[in-house]
Amino acid sequence: MRVLLVGAGGVGTAITRIAARREFFDGFVVADYDLARAEAAVAALGEAGGGRFRARRVDASDEAAVVALLTEEECDVLLNATDPRFVMPLFEAALAAGSHYVDMAMSLSRPHPELPYARCGVKLGDEQFERADAWEKSGRLALVGMGVEPGLSDVFARYAADELFDTIEEIGIRDGANLTVEGHEFAPSFNIWTTIEECLNPPVVHERDRGWFTTEPFSEPEVFDFPEGIGPVECVNVEHEEVLLVPRWVDADRVTFKYGLGEDFIGKLKTLHALGLDSTEPVTVRGADGTPVRVSPRDVVAACLPDPATLGDRMSGKTCAGTWVKGTKDGRPREVYLYHVVDNGWSMREYGSQAVVWQTAVNPVVALELMAGGVWAGSGVLGPEALPPRPFLDLLTAYESPWGLREQG
């Protein structure tokens, strides 16, 4: 297998460090708009890279350039580690080049123009699923939403349906952490552009009788007790891919996603929204020399905050991603939480990557290894829950990254 990785930021760099320890691929091309960043990711591997990694420059928004790079490098699969704005050109480029495709976030949503907090407009992933027939005819696989959330959380949902439950009342993705960053009052542990998109868009819920519908941001607050010392964290509804993916392949009465944001984080996001600083529409400002400059407010916010990938040395605590499932087994009520916890101290010592980006990065690498071995195969646009879960969970453990199961009752 030859892999084209597009995006050499925090998650992309963590992917290279994880992949360098595995033998399932022949070549790994690391491409970024900033060639120096791609070169730094490859150089950091040293001898561990084994000569299998090389750096290239590519503009992720330039579909033709990506097709040319895939063809020139004879890559079997494109792994997208950019932010969601670049999903569609990369997705289309992989299809045009005859490559497989893997991403960790799906094509962007657009709220309903008249009833944003009641009805869905364009849902996450809609643009990709509209192209499912073309992918199926190509005989290639577009594996979408294959990070940790979405990704591992979806694998957990399928595993629960296959092995732990006869009927499922609710599948609820629950994400929480006790991470702190020394020296920063506000330092999100993941890409702030994506975080704003997720948290301020209308959250989506799926119910068997209603289908997909939306609610107000930060709705249905609940306190969820996370394992391994993280403890209780208030979680709220947030727009996320699992709610759009899980119901396509797993039978459940209700599917939700709730994020443990905390009151302070929610307050700051609400302030950004009130000031219009979450907007992606460019506004005109005056440069230092008086020249008008067009700039997106959200990009300014992102530029003012520290890069999450650089915070590992000042970060402490753990992050937990997991799937809570409630239903019945053998005629009896059952409730479980399937989870994956990463301690920042461990991920920094072992890989030099902070916990959140490492936890995101390990899952697409596991998926690529399963694809390389023919264990995960198919054609069309598929979510992780469309594929057998047990091989993934077993291989994740072999990556020295065990998962857990807690009975809730």
Q: Which two tokens stand for residue 268?
A: 């700051």
Nearest partner of 29 among 8, 10, 59, judged by Cα: 8
The pair phi, psi for residue 401, each rounded to 5°, is: -135, 70
Q: How confident is the model at residue 319 (pLDDT cuts 50, 70, 90)?
A: very high
pLDDT above 90 (res 91):
yes
- The pLDDT of residue 165 is 98
Asked if the model's pLDDT at residue 289 lies above 90, the reply is: no
The bridge status of strand 204-207 relative to strand 254-259 is antiparallel
Where are the extended beta strands (E) located within 141-197?
141-143, 167-177, 180-181
Each residue's pLDDT tens digit, 236-252:
999 999 999 999 999 99
- Predicted confidence at residue 409, as pLDDT, reads 72
pLDDT of residue 157: 98
Q: How confident is the model at residue 50 (pLDDT cuts 50, 70, 90)?
A: confident
- Name the burial class of residue 275, with classes exposed (0-12), middle (13-18) and buried (19+) by CB atoms within 10 angstroms of its CB: exposed
Please determine, for residue 293, whether its predicted confidence score (pLDDT) is greater than 90. no
Q: Are 405 and 325 in contact (CB under 8 A)?
A: no
Task: Average the pLDDT over each of 14-18, 100-104, 152-156, 301-305 and give the range with the smallest value.
Answer: 301-305
pLDDT greater than 70 at residue 10: yes
Give the pLDDT confidence score for residue 318 in this predicted structure: 96
Distance separating alpha carbons of residues 207 and 49, to the nearest angstrom = 47
With cut-offs at 50, 70 and 90, classify the pLDDT of residue 188.
Answer: low
Q: How far apart are CA 348 and CA 10, in angstroms?
A: 13
Q: CA-based Rg of the chain, rounded to a whole angstrom?
A: 20
What average pLDDT is seen over the chain? 93
The more confidently predicted of residues 127 and 277 is: 127
Q: What are phi and psi of 200, to 5 degrees?
A: -105, -10
Q: CB-based contacts of 196: which residues, under 8 Å, 6+ apart? A: 269, 272, 278, 298, 301
DSSP for residue 163: I
Residue 312 has pLDDT above 70, yes or no: no
Give yes or no for residue 58 having a pLDDT over 80. Answer: yes
pLDDT of residue 123: 97
Question: If you ran DSSP here, which 8-state letter would residue 111 be given?
Answer: -
Looking at residue 296, what is its pLDDT? 87
Confidence of residue 267 (pLDDT cuts 50, 70, 90): confident
Residue 184 has pLDDT above 70, yes or no: no
| pLDDT computed for residue 128 by the predictor | 98
CB of 245 closer than 8 Å to CB of 152: no
Considering the entire predicted model, what is its pTM? 0.91
Among candidate residues 137, 110, 168, 179, the one with its CA nearest the CA of residue 321: 179
Q: For residue 276, how many other CB atoms are within 10 A of its CB?
A: 11
- Greater confidence (285 vs 287) lies with 285
The single-letter DSSP state of residue 317 is S
Distance separating alpha carbons of residues 253 and 249, to the nearest angstrom: 13
**pLDDT at position 295, please?**
86
- The larger pLDDT score, comparing residue 191 to residue 226, is at 226
Inform me whether the pLDDT recorded for 170 exceeds 70: yes
Which residue shows structure tokens 């609940």?
222
Pull the structure tokens for residue 125.
Answer: 């992933």
